[in-house]
């Protein structure tokens, strides 16, 4: 089924880059406007990180988060009983890994909610028609990756986004799991589930808040940031239509999603 819009050079997956790393052992990535600097003495591991974050790799800039990597898993485990340490203040961490970036992924997910607050880190897939964004949230297995696979031309990410309230609610893709950089105004939020037919039900503001809050990574260790983040959520649910969406895996769901928007 041909979508009722065109987007040039859009792909659902990250555009992986050659594993070339700066000679000083540093790599910068852009997490939807938050710069993360990764330091390591291992060129091969930095190459893995560069491959992992693909088109989110950026030129060196002033970082808001600093991650220091070591390949010495044994010492880190012996001293701390784990493979990562997040330091007080939430803007730096140490990770240990001989290979692979799973530990780094986990640390960034932990750090980001408090660093970006009152912006929200939301578990959801982001689709765009080139002008507007449609955020699909749901528990694991509800169909986020399915939705992204149905519309590869429109999919910016299938796992996690950064959501900001302001004069215009804006949503940005984050590089977890499959993603490419993108930022669009938010047109609607869908709480999705699999169903025998397409069915869209609008939610009242209170219902929308109750549903969407379950899919947010909150800065729970920072009460002041929690208050600011929850206000951002209420503002978003006041200004943006939120729907419960049942769907079966067919591109015809696009018409149901966007009707009247």
**Domain coordinates of the chain in residue numbers?**
26-116, 120-258
pTM greater than 0.75: yes
pLDDT tens-digit series, residues 108-135: 999 999 999 999 999 999 999 999 999 9
**Cα separation, 181 vs 165, whole angstroms:** 19
**Spatial contact of 149 and 120, defined as CB atoms under 8 Å apart:** no
**Cα separation, 186 vs 177, whole angstroms:** 20
pLDDT tens-digit series, residues 164-214: 988 789 999 999 888 999 999 999 999 999 999 999 999 999 999 999 999
CA neighbor of 208 nearest in space, from 195, 189, 193, 187: 189
**Cα separation, 51 vs 18, whole angstroms:** 7
Q: Residue 17 phi/psi, 5° resolution?
A: -105, 160
| CATH 3.20.20.140 corresponds to the domain 120-258 | no
- Chain length of the chain: 261
**Residue 11 pLDDT > 50:** no
User: Quick one: fold of 26-116?
Assistant: Rossmann fold (3.40.50)
Strands 65-70, 34-40: pairing is parallel
Q: E strands, the chain, where?
A: 26-31, 34-40, 57-58, 65-70, 84-86, 92-96, 120-128, 133-137, 155-157, 160-164, 170-173, 183-194, 199-202, 216-217, 242-247
Question: Averaged over 24-28, what is the pLDDT?
Answer: 88
CA neighbor of 192 nearest in space, from 256, 133, 101: 256
Average pLDDT, the chain: 89
Q: Would you give the DSSP letter of residue 129? A: -
């Amino acid at each position: 089924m041909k979508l009722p819009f065109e987007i040039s050079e859009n792909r659902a997956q990250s555009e992986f880059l050659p594993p070339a790393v700066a000679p000083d052992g540093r790599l910068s990535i852009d997490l939807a406007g938050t710069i993360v600097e990764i330091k390591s003495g291992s060129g091969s591991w930095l190459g893995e990180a560069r491959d992992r974050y693909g088109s989110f790799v950026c030129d060196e800039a002033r970082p808001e988060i600093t991650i220091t990597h070591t390949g010495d898993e044994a010492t880190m485990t012996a001293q701390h009983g784990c493979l990562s340490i997040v330091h007080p203040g939430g803007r730096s961490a140490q990770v240990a890994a001989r290979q692979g970036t799973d530990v780094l992924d986990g640390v960034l997910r932990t750090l980001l909610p408090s660093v970006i607050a009152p912006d929200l880190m939301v578990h959801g897939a982001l689709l765009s028609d080139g002008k507007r964004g449609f955020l699909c949230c749901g528990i694991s297995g509800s169909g986020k990756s399915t939705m992204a696979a149905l519309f590869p031309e429109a999919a910016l990410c299938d796992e996690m986004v950064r959501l900001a309230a302001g004069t215009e609610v804006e949503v940005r893709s984050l590089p977890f799991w499959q993603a490419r950089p993108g930022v669009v105004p938010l047109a609607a939020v869908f709480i999705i589930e699999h169903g025998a037919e397409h069915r869209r039900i609008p939610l009242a503001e209170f219902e929308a808040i109750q549903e969407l809050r379950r899919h947010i990574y909150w800065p729970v260790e920072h009460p002041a940031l929690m208050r600011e983040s929850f206000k951002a959520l209420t503002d978003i649910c006041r200004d943006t239509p939120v729907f419960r969406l049942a769907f079966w895996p067919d591109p015809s769901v696009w018409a149901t999603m966007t009707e009247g928007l």
